[in-house]
Structure 1
Amino acid sequence: MDLPLPDKLYYKIGEISKALSLNPSVLRFWETEFSQLNPRKSSTGQRLYSRNDLDLLVTIRKLLYKDKLTIEGARRVITGLAAPPLTPPEECGEPSEEIKTLLHEIREELQICSKILVS
């Protein structure tokens, strides 16, 4: 995702919320739900998000809003306890000739197995 942010060490919550089109309260809530999200705080208490925090926020946003996972589901994906959602077939494109050949061979073998089981 191409975000309209300059390349720097830390970003303030307002910059992040604007770039991700999210309310700052959503970002603060996500901090309570995802332990990996822990922005630094300036001497005045302003949240300072690193580039890693930003990448994590982009991932969380995708899992919740695009992939329609629950917070628990997104948490499991981020901690590695669950596989990320599969890309829908229409976004994968046409399978290569190699894959088509392999699938054809598998189908033939399954048909042979089916005939053996039926007889």
Structure 2
Amino acid sequence: MTKEKGAFRTIGELSKELSIKPHILRYWEDQFAMLTPLKRAGSRRHYRPDDVAMVKTINRLLNEEGYTIKGARKFLAARRRRPEMVEDAPQPASAILPLFANTHEDNGLMLAELKSIRDQLTDALSAA
């Protein structure tokens, strides 16, 4: 039996739907403050449609795009501050964040900045 799109999901249902073990979902609740399913009697979790979308986004960031948990938190926080980035269909970070743009000019600027930082660190180590 398939639930409607807007129906609440239990942790077991969401786990099966997304092939994510329940203990991983509980861990993500600890790591991502914005993931807050309803807890009913006996601490039973019920994921609202917004929670399901958040879990799907977290899963995509961690398991498909290779983000760390810290990086995924930063990405989601930036997305919350910039609502124009919120869309129904998830997009890869390279399509959303200008930091990941692969233009030659951007790469040259980043390389110059990194070299400057390297030189400053070398100078600081030499002085120490």
Shorter-chain TM-score above 0.5: yes
Shift of 1:5: 4.8
Q: For residue 86 of structure 1, what is the aligned residue in structure 2? A: 94
State the distance in 2 between where 1:7 and 1:41 align. Answer: 20
Structure 2 counterpart of 1:44: 42
1:48-96 CA-partner distances (Å, limit 9, x unpaired): 1000000000000000011000000000000117x96215xxxxxxxxx
Q: Structure 1 residue 65 and structure 2 residue 73: aligned?
A: no
Q: Percent identity?
A: 35
- Where do 4+ consecutive residues of structure 1 move more than 2 Å? 4-9
Q: Distance in 2 between matches of 1:17 and 1:25?
A: 9
Which shifted more, 42-51 or 25-34? Answer: 42-51
> TM-score w.r.t. structure 1 length?
0.64
Count of residues in Structure 1 that have an aligned counterpart in Structure 2: 84
Q: CA RMSD in A?
A: 2.2
User: Which amino acid in the other structure matches residue 17 of structure 1?
Assistant: S
Q: Gaps (5+ residues) in structure 2? A: 80-84, 86-91, 96-128
Distance of 1:79 and 1:8 partners within structure 2: 24
Gaps of 5+ in 1: 88-119
| Corresponding residue for residue 75 of structure 1 | 73
TM-score, length basis structure 2: 0.59
| Partner AA of 1:65 in structure 2 | N
Contact 1:5 1:19 in 2 (8 A): no
Question: 2:42, 2:66 → 1: CA distance?
Answer: 36
Q: How does 1:1-119 map to 2 (within 5 A)?
A: 5-80=3-78, 85-87=93-95
